[in-house]
Structure 1
Amino acid sequence: MSQSPKLLLGPLIGGLSDTAANLWARADGPGRLRAWLGRRADFSDAAEAGKSRPLRAEDGFAGVAPVGGLRRETTYYYAVTLTGRPPAKPDGQFTTFPRPGRPRPFSFAFGSCFCPGKIANGEIFASLESHRRAVETDAARKLRFTLLIGDQVYADDWKFNGLKEQYGEKGRVAVSLEDYRNVYAHVWGNEHFRAALTNLPAFMTLDDHEVDDDWRWTSSFRRAGSIPWWDKIGRFFKGRKAEEWRLPRRRILAALQAYWEHQGMHAPPMTLPPEVDEDGQYVLERYAPGSLAYSFTYGCAAFFVLDTRSMRVKKGNDRRMLGDDQWRILKAWLLDAKDRYPVKFIVTSCSILFPMWIDIPGDRWSGFREERDKLLRFIGENDIRGVYFLAGDLHSGHAVSAEIGPKGCRVPVWEFCSTPFEQETNRWARCMYLPILSGLAGNQKPVFTTHEPHFGVVEVTYPRGKPSVKFCLYNRAGDPLHPPVGD
C-alpha cells in the first residue's frame, strides 16, 4: 500500500501583492496543494482559498496554490496541505501590500549567498526570524518581505551541497536535474531557513551558483557554457570527473529547470518570459526573446528584479549581461516609474557601483562596462531620481553613494549590498574598491564595508511627504553592524 505524499519543502509565500499571493511547496510525490486562509490566529475561520495544478514528476512535485481576491493591507493566516481536511493550525502568516502608488512606511530584508554547513548551519535565518518578530508591531520597521538575490544554493560546492548522501564522502558537483533538485532539498530543508520563510514573503532571483561558479554562455547561440579556467584545472587535479567541470547546454537547462521549480514559479509574472518548448523547458536559442526578470510594487516603491545570468554571454569581445529584450523592458520600466513611484529599487545579483581593482573573472558589472555605462547614462540623461541598487555576490556588505550620468545631467543614487548570509567572507573588500572611471559616475563615496555574515534591512518612510530610505546590516546575534545610512 503506497504512502500518502508529504511536503518535502515549504510552504513559503511568493508573488505577494495587494490582492494576491502564490503559496509554494514541494512534495515527495504526486498530489495537489491546497491553500487555506483565515483572519484569526487560532485558524478557527480557515477556509480553502486555492489549489495547485496536479503535482508532476516533470516539475519535481513542486507547485503553487494561487490565492486571489484578498483585501489590501490585511493580515492572513495560512496553511498548505495535500489533503482536503482543514488543518488545525496555520503554518504562518502574511500581510497584503497597499494599493500601488499609496505612500506607506515599510521595511524589507534582503541578502544573498547561503551555504549552510560551511561556517554555520542557518543561524542567520534564525536571527532574521527573531528580528521579524521583534519589529512586528512597528509599522515602519515591520518586515513586509525579503529579497533573496542570488546563490540561494551552491550546487557546485561538493563538500556542502548535500550530494554526499547519494555519491559517498567524495560528493559531487551537481550535473543532472536530479542532482540540482537534491541540492535544493538539502539546503532549503535547513530548519532555520524553512522557518524564516514560512512567515516572511520572498522574492528571488538567481546568480551563478544555482548553475556553477561564474558561469556564462560561450556565444550568443547559447549552445554551451563555461566556467573559469582555474575552476576547471582545480577540479581536474582534485580528481573530479570531467562532467563536473564541463558545462554543456543540457546541464544549464537542468539547473534552470530546478531554479524554475524552486524560485521562479512562485515569483510575480515575468515581464517578458523566455519561450518554452512542449515539455515546458526553456528554449534559450540565439534569438529567443525573454528573461527571468520581473517587477512588483509596494505602495510608492517600485522594484525591478534583474536577470543577470540566464542571458549572459562572455567570449572575447562578445560580452552581454542583460540581452536586448531585458534591456528594452528595463528602460520602459524606468521611464514608467520615473514620475509614478518616488522610490525605485533595481535588484541586481552583482554589484554595479563597487568595482574592484582585482577582479580576475570580470564577473560583475565592471566586466560588462558597455552595458553598465549604458544604464548609468540612461538614468542620468532621463533625470530618473530616487534610484537605489540592491546587490549581493561579493561576500562583503557595503553602501556606496554616487552621482551617475554624463556631466551636466547627473542624478544621486545609492547601492546597498548585503552578502553573505552564510558563506566565506571577503576580508579585503575595503582595500579592493576602485571607483568607476568611465566618466559616468562622480562623487563616489563608499560609506562602509563589512565582511561579517549578515542580513540587510531597508526602511522606507515618508517624513513630510518625501521619501527617506535607510539601510542597515545585522549579524547573527541580531546586532546592527553600523549606524543606518541612506537619505
Structure 2
Amino acid sequence: MSIGSTPAGSGPRPDRGLVLGPMLRHVDDASASIWVETAAACTVEVRCGADAWQAETFAAHGHHYALIEVSGLEAGSVRPYTVHLDGHLAWPVQDGFPDSMISTLDPAKEPRLAFGSCRTSVSHDESGNRTHGIDAMRAYALAMAAPGHGRWPDLALFLGDQVYADSTSGQMQEFIRRRRNIKEAPGAELKDFEEYAHLYRLAWSDPANRWLLSTLPSAMIFDDHDIRDDWNSSLGWKQKMQQTGWWHERIVSGLGSYWIYQHLGNLSPDQRAADPLWQRIVTHTGPGELDLTADLDEFAERVDAVPESYSWSYCRDWDAVRLIVVDSRAARKLEPERRALLDPAELAWLDERMRGGFRHLLIGTSLPFLLPMGLHHVESWDEAIASGSRRRLGAWLGERLRRRFDLEHWAAFQRSFQEVARIATEVADGKRGSAPQTVTFLSGDVHFSYVSEVEREGGSRILQAVCSPIRNPLPRFLRYFAAALAFGPAVPFGAWIARRAHVPNPPFGWSLIKGPWFDNNLAILEDTGDGLALSWLTGVARDGDPANPGLDTVAVASLGTRRDDMHREDPSGPR
C-alpha cells in the first residue's frame, strides 16, 4: 500500500496488542517518555539496541496504559526503538513508514518546534478533505517520512482542541449509537470515559499521524472543545451545565482521560514523580494490574470542584529558551467580583517562571493573549456590561453575546490580562533578569493565524504568534466576518464602546505585522540566534491523490532582534 492511505480511525488490529501509540512525549538530553495504550494487561518494554526499559500497564475504565521512562541516553543522540508486549514485538508495524526514533536534545543546537491547535478527526479521503480540508499535521508527517526532509523539530506543541468532545464525526456517532440512544442527552456529544477513549483512538491512529507522534516529541494543553464549547466562559455557563443530568460524568471523564492521554506525557520524570496519581502507579506492588479507575475519578472530581488543588501548566527549558505552557481554561475564577482567567495559585506559578536570562521567553496559551485590537475591545466591553450589577438588561445581553460569539479570551478577563501584561513588560524591560530578545506568546483557538507586536520604544520585542487551525477551517463567509470584526470597522467602534463601558485602557498598544490567513496549517518556530524564524505550512492535494498530500508554505516571518528587521504590512485579507 502507499504511505498514508489508511482511513482515519482504522489503526492497528486489536490482536496486535497495541491499541494506540507508541507516543514519544517528554524528551530532554538524557531521557525520553514513551506512552502506549494496550489491548490487555501486560509488561511493556522499549528497546534501543541492547538497552531495554520496562513498565507494567495500569488500568482505567477497562483500558490499559503504560508510560515507559527511558533513561541514560546520550545528549544529541538519535536511536531507533521498538516496543514489545510481554516479550513479543508490537512496534513497528509494516506500514511503509521509517523506524521510530528517539532524538535527545542537543545543547549545541538552537531549538526548533512545531505548534498549532484545533484538529478534527475525520477521514483523509476526498470527502473528509472537502468538508474539513487537508490535515496539516498529517501532511507534515508525510513530508517528515520522505527522504531528505531535513531537521525535525525538537517538539510539537499542541495548543488545545486535540479532540472535539462536543462536535463529533460520523465515525464517532456510529460508535455512540452502538452504546446508547443518541437522541437522549447529551446526544452526539461525548458522555463518558469509554467514548473519550474511542475519540482519542480516532484522532491518533491514522498511520501517518501515528508514526509522527511516535517520532516527534509532543506537549499538549487543553482548550474548550476538549471538554465542551465555551468551557468555563462564565459562572452562568457553568451553573447551566451543572443543572443537566449528564455534565458531572462528562467533566469527570474529560479531565480523567486528559490526564492519561495528554497531561501525563507533558511532565518531566521529576515532575511526574511528584504527581500523586503517578505515585499511586509506580508504588503499586500487586498482585495483578493496578486499577486506577476510582482514584482517577476522585481526582477529576476534586480538580473540577477545587481548581487550585492541581495545576495543569508546565515549563520546559532549553539552553537559551524557556517555554511556559499555561492552563487558561480550568484555572479560572468565575465569580463576578473575583473574575480571572488564572486563579491566584496559577498566576503565582506563572509569575515565578516569567523571568529573563533566556534568549527567548515563549508562553504557550491556547487563547491568544494579544487578540486583534478590534476583537480585544469588543471582548473587554462585553465583560464590562455582563458584569454590570445595576443594569440587568446589559448583563443579560453581555452574557448572551459572550456565549454566542465566544467572547471569552484574555481580553474578556481584564484583571488577568492587565496583570500578565505588566509581568511581560517587566521581563521585556529587564526588571526580572537580563532582558531576552523576545517575549513571545504562542496560541491557537481563533481559526485564523497572524503575528502581532506590542508597540515599544526599547527593550525586548513582545510578540503574539497564532497558528489555528491544524484541521478545522472556518466556512468562507465566516472568514470575512471574522476579519471585519478583528481588523476592520470593529477597531474604532470597539475602542469607543470599551471607553463608554469604562474599561481600563490596555497598558500598551499592539498592531498586526503578518496576516491574517485562514488555512489549515502547522507552524514551525526556530531560534536562529539572531531572532525567531517562523513559517506556516499547509497540506495541498497533488496528483489526484487526496490521501497523500504535499506540503506548501502559507507564510513566513523573520522576527529579528530589531523592530525594523521585519517589514510591517497591511492585513492581507481572508485567504
Question: Which band: TM-score by shorter chain?
Answer: 0.7 to 0.9
1:146 aligns with 156
TM-aligned CA deviation for residue 195 of structure 1: 2.5
TM-aligned CA deviation for residue 358 of structure 1: 5.5
Question: Helix, strand or coil: the match of 2:20?
Answer: strand
TM-aligned CA deviation for residue 75 of structure 1: 0.4
1:348 aligns with 365
Select 1:417's aligned residue among 466, 478, 489: 466
**Residues 368, 443 of structure 2: 8 Å contact kept:** yes
Question: Helix, strand or coil: the match of 1:483?
Answer: strand
- Partners of 2:171 and 2:223 lie apart in 1 by 16
2:342 aligns with 322
Matches within 5 A, 1:80-479: 80-85=83-88, 91-99=99-107, 104-117=109-122, 119-120=131-132, 123-133=135-145, 138=150, 141-160=151-170, 162-167=172-177, 172-216=188-232, 243=245, 247-248=247-248, 250-269=249-268, 279-280=295-296, 281-282=299-300, 283-284=302-303, 285-286=305-306, 288-335=308-355, 338-339=356-357, 341-355=358-372, 356=375, 360=402, 361-382=406-427, 383=429, 384-385=435-436, 386-403=438-455, 411-425=460-474, 427-428=479-480, 429-433=482-486, 438-462=505-529, 467-477=530-540, 478-479=551-552
Note closer, same or farther for the CA distance 1:63–1:136 as it changes in structure 2 (3 Å cut). farther
- Partners of 2:169 and 2:91 lie apart in 1 by 40
Question: Helix, strand or coil: the match of 1:113?
Answer: coil
Q: Percent identity?
A: 21
- Partners of 1:217 and 1:443 lie apart in 2 by 25
TM-aligned CA deviation for residue 362 of structure 1: 2.3
**Residues 275, 290 of structure 1: 8 Å contact kept:** no
- Partners of 2:78 and 2:365 lie apart in 1 by 30
Gaps of 5+ in 1: 38-45, 233-241
Question: Helix, strand or coil: the match of 2:265?
Answer: coil
Note closer, same or farther for the CA distance 1:106–1:363 as it changes in structure 2 (3 Å cut). same
- Partners of 1:474 and 1:272 lie apart in 2 by 37
Greater Cα shift, 300-309 or 288-297:
288-297
* 1:433 alignment partner AA: A
- Partners of 1:160 and 1:307 lie apart in 2 by 30
TM-score calculated relative to the size of structure 2: 0.70
Question: Helix, strand or coil: the match of 1:441?
Answer: coil
* 2:175 alignment partner AA: E
Note closer, same or farther for the CA distance 1:65–1:226 as it changes in structure 2 (3 Å cut). farther
**Residues 82, 89 of structure 2: 8 Å contact kept:** no
Question: Helix, strand or coil: the match of 1:185?
Answer: helix
TM-aligned CA deviation for residue 105 of structure 1: 2.5
**Residues 104, 300 of structure 1: 8 Å contact kept:** no
- Partners of 1:88 and 1:433 lie apart in 2 by 47
TM-aligned CA deviation for residue 116 of structure 1: 2.3
Greater Cα shift, 165-174 or 143-152:
165-174
2:559 aligns with 486
Gaps of 5+ in 2: 1-13, 93-97, 123-127, 281-293, 380-401, 430-434, 496-503, 541-550, 561-575
Note closer, same or farther for the CA distance 1:219–1:358 as it changes in structure 2 (3 Å cut). closer
Q: Does 1:67 align with 2:45?
A: no
Question: Helix, strand or coil: the match of 2:539?
Answer: coil
Greater Cα shift, 202-211 or 56-65:
56-65
TM-aligned CA deviation for residue 122 of structure 1: 6.3
**Residues 455, 511 of structure 2: 8 Å contact kept:** yes
Note closer, same or farther for the CA distance 1:175–1:358 as it changes in structure 2 (3 Å cut). farther
**Residues 472, 482 of structure 1: 8 Å contact kept:** yes
**Residues 125, 192 of structure 1: 8 Å contact kept:** no
Select 2:55's aligned residue among 47, 52, 55: 52
**Residues 137, 209 of structure 2: 8 Å contact kept:** yes
Note closer, same or farther for the CA distance 1:322–1:63 as it changes in structure 2 (3 Å cut). farther
- Partners of 2:370 and 2:27 lie apart in 1 by 29
Question: Helix, strand or coil: the match of 1:257?
Answer: helix
TM-aligned CA deviation for residue 9 of structure 1: 0.8
- Partners of 1:225 and 1:97 lie apart in 2 by 46
TM-aligned CA deviation for residue 81 of structure 1: 2.4
2:399 aligns with none
TM-aligned CA deviation for residue 400 of structure 1: 1.0
Residues 27-79 of structure 1, C-alpha deviations (whole Å, 9 max, x = no match):
12222321111xxxxxxxx2352122333135831220110111101101112
Residues 282-319 of structure 1, C-alpha deviations (whole Å, 9 max, x = no match):
42244743311111123321111111112223354442
- Partners of 2:134 and 2:208 lie apart in 1 by 6
Q: What is the aligned residue count?
A: 445
2:17 aligns with 6
TM-aligned CA deviation for residue 391 of structure 1: 0.2
* 1:376 alignment partner AA: A
Note closer, same or farther for the CA distance 1:54–1:271 as it changes in structure 2 (3 Å cut). closer
Note closer, same or farther for the CA distance 1:293–1:443 as it changes in structure 2 (3 Å cut). closer
- Partners of 2:87 and 2:463 lie apart in 1 by 49
* 1:150 alignment partner AA: G
